[in-house]
Structure 1
Amino acid sequence: MDRAVLRDDMVDSLEHEAKGWINTESVSLAMRSVPRHEFVPDEQRAYADCSFEQFGTRVLAPSTAARLVEALDPTPDDSVLIVGVGVGYTAAVVAEIVGDQNVQAIDITRRLVWEARNNLARAGYNGVLVDRHDGSDGLPAYAPYDRILLEAAAIEPPQTLLRQLGASGHLVMPLGASTQRLVSVSKDGTTVDEFGRVAFSPMLVDGEQVDTVERNRTVREDREFAARESEGRHGWEQHWIDWTHGQKH
């Protein structure tokens, strides 16, 4: 079947009231234009609404990519940073809306940076800059941004990314640990909108890789797990309780 027909069928299904993931014309047109098969070599998967693992990362289902871009709400000529570019498909959809010269993308994994660059170039989005950086550092050389999309979960909005937003810019990200919700956050860290439950892998920090046997937790997660462990201890394990005199230090 013609690939353009497959794209139209995919977008039609995402616009249908049974799903309703696409609500704006700009996102609809962008997803009808981006050749998803250039990012997903298996054509049976390219236009199916499913996610799967590739090169140690999760390739987002088209419905999830649509949710992210709808939440991001980019407009033509916006400056956009994609954190966690993966195979590059979401960056291409955003580039279709704002222009590829206005999109920068980063990933912590060199293999994915290489893959995304090749995929974007093959799909016709040569102007998208893709570089290898720790996601929590962002890309300050190109700041300020009108929109930042974080394609990984964090317990709180990374302050470095918030500082790279313009005055009226928004950061869209999965917020939380075991329970996550997709949110849009303003420059001052205020949640301005929510878009329902999601499930993303945690954002990695420098020294961590997606293709290791066991992924390390992020710094933010380490703090949360430490706090949970402390609060969950029995009284006799708490060194700050003086059991002899019945007092807390």
Structure 2
Amino acid sequence: MDPAVLRDDMVDSLEHEAKRCVRSEAVSVAMRAVPREAFVDDERAAYADRAFERHGTRVLAPSTAARLLEALVPEPGDEVLVVGAGVGYTAAVCAELAGARHVHAVDIDRRLVYDARSNLAEAGYGEVLVDCRDGADGLPEYAPYDRVLVEAAAIEPPRRLVRQLADDGRLVLPLGGGEQTLTVVEPTATRGYETVGRRGTTAFAPMLVEGEQATTVERNRTVREDREHAERAAERRKGWEQEWIDWDREL
């Protein structure tokens, strides 16, 4: 089937009263324009409303991406930063809304950065800049940003990202630990930022820091450190303390 027809069907379903994820004409037009099959290998599955896994990260379902974009509302000419580029689909829709040369994206996983660059180029958005960075650091050399979208959960808005917002900028992110809420944040001169909107519950993986990528030997630092301490302690034990010695056989 023609991918354009599949795209229209997908967006029609997201606009339907049963979901109502797409509410604005701008997001509707943008999602109908972006060839999602460039970002998901299976052409038909690309337009199913479900998430996928890629290099240890989640490729957002179209309905989830739509919710983020409706909260972000980028306009033509806005400078946009996407934190957690993943395979690049959300950045592509932002490029349709704001213009490709106005969109920057970062991801902590180098494999995803390469994927996103390749996918965006294939889809016709090669001007989008994608860099390998710790998401909480943002991309200060290109700040200020009118819109910042974080595709990972945080307990509170990362201060460095808030500082990279323009005076009338907007930051959208899943906020919270066990229970998350899609939250809209704007900068203020006194408190640094204020919450100006909540857009329902979400379920995102937490924002990773350096050393926790899927490409590292072990992502859970506490588990890794506990194991290393146990190994060092075992090496210091006397012979009679070693559990692995079969004393009966030795005698």
Report the equivalent of 1:206: 210
2:44 aligns to what SS in structure 1?
helix
Amino acid at match of 1:185: V
Distance 2:220 2:132 in 1: 19
- Cα distance in 2 for residues equivalent to 1:60 and 1:80: 19
Aligned to 1:190: 194
Separation of aligned partners in 2, 1:171 and 1:216: 28
Q: How far off its partner does 1:217 sit?
A: 7.4
Q: Which has the larger radius of gyration?
A: 2
Distance, in Å, in 1 between the alignment partners of 2:218 and 2:65 is: 26
Q: Which amino acid aligns with 2:202?
A: V
Contact 1:202 1:217 in 2 (8 A): no
Residue 237 of structure 1: aligned partner: none
For normalisation by structure 2, the TM-score amounts to 0.84
Question: Is 1:152–1:174's contact at 8 Å kept on the other side of the alignment?
Answer: yes
Partner of residue 28, structure 2: 28
C-alpha separation in 1, matches of 2:5 and 2:114: 29
Q: Shift of the alpha carbon at 1:130?
A: 0.2
* SS across alignment from 2:193: coil
Q: Is the 8 A contact 2:211 2:219 kept in 1?
A: no
Write out aligned runs for 1:98-113 (5 A).
Answer: 98-113=98-113
Query: Counterpart of 1:55?
Result: 55
Residue in 1 aligned with 2:226?
A: none
Contact 1:204 / 1:217 at 8 angstroms: preserved in 2? no
Shift of 1:141: 0.4
Partner of 1:131: 131
Any unmatched runs of 5+ in structure 2?
A: 223-251
What pairs with 1:202-241 in structure 2 (closer than 5 Å)? 202-211=206-215, 215-216=219-220
User: Equivalent residues in 2 for 1:109-124 (5 A)?
Assistant: 109-124=109-124
User: How far, CA to CA, are the matches of 2:73 and 2:65 in structure 1?
Assistant: 12
Task: Quote the residue 1:74 is aligned against.
Answer: 74
2:149 — aligned with what?
149
Q: Helix, strand or coil: the match of 1:31?
A: helix
Q: Match of 1:56, as an amino acid?
A: G
Q: What is aligned with 1:240?
A: none
RMSD: 1.4
Q: CA deviation at 1:56?
A: 1.2
Mapped partners of 1:167, 1:77: distance in 2: 16
TM-score by length of 1: 0.85
Moved more, 173-182 or 203-212: 203-212
Alpha-carbon offset, residue 43 of structure 1: 1.7
Secondary structure of 1:190 counterpart: strand
**Contact 2:81 / 2:105 at 8 angstroms: preserved in 1?**
yes
Structure 1 match to 2:172 = 172
Q: Is this contact kept in 1: 2:3–2:43, CA < 8 A?
A: no
CA distance, structure 1, for counterparts of residue 209 and residue 39 of structure 2:
25
Contact 2:14–2:63 under 8 Å retained in 1: yes
